[in-house]
Amino acid sequence: MRVEFYGVYRPMVGEKTIEVEADLNLRQVLEIMVTRHPLLRPELLDDSGQLYPWIPLYVNGRNPRLFADGLDRPIGAAEVVSIFSPIASGKINVEETRKLRGDETP
């Protein structure tokens, strides 16, 4: 499978795309990425190792948080995981920031 990085994450990783073995779930893929590239860990994961809710993450262009298995979703060999910088992502991050501040108004 391919993991693609955008925005501020690309310079941290040093390349746009990283190939990773298949038959892992999304959570395992993230752990591999932050282990290989330690600068990513505080940017993507909180102190308990959970992906920050404002990080735009997609599998084949779809938000895995909307699926029942979420980050435990298996990733196949032909799939693409895309990790975008929160600055570049748009509406999802505005909504998450409002929730964190307690401001639910649009």
For 9-48, how does the pLDDT look when each residue is reduced to its tens digit (9 = 90+)? 999 999 999 999 878 999 999 999 999 999 999 999 999 9
44-82, pLDDT tens digit by residue?
Answer: 999 999 999 999 999 999 999 888 899 998 999 999 999
Could you say which of 3.10.20.30, 1.10.1040.20, 3.40.50.300, 2.30.33.40 is the CATH number of the domain covering 2-101?
A: 3.10.20.30
Strands 80-83 and 57-59: antiparallel
Q: How many angstroms separate the CA atoms of 49 and 42, rounded?
A: 9
Please tell me the distance from the alpha carbon of residue 32 to that of residue 42, in angstroms, as a whole number.
Answer: 14
Q: pLDDT tier at 89 (50, 70, 90 boundaries)?
A: very low
Read off φ and ψ for residue 2, nearest 5 degrees.
-110, 140
Locate the domains of the chain by residue range. 2-101
Residues sharing a CB contact under 8 Å with residue 34, sequence separation 6 or more, in sequence order: 40, 41, 44, 45
pLDDT score of 97 more than 80: no
CA neighbor of 8 nearest in space, from 55, 53, 65: 55
| pTM greater than 0.95 | no
The CA distance from 15 to 94, in Å, is: 27
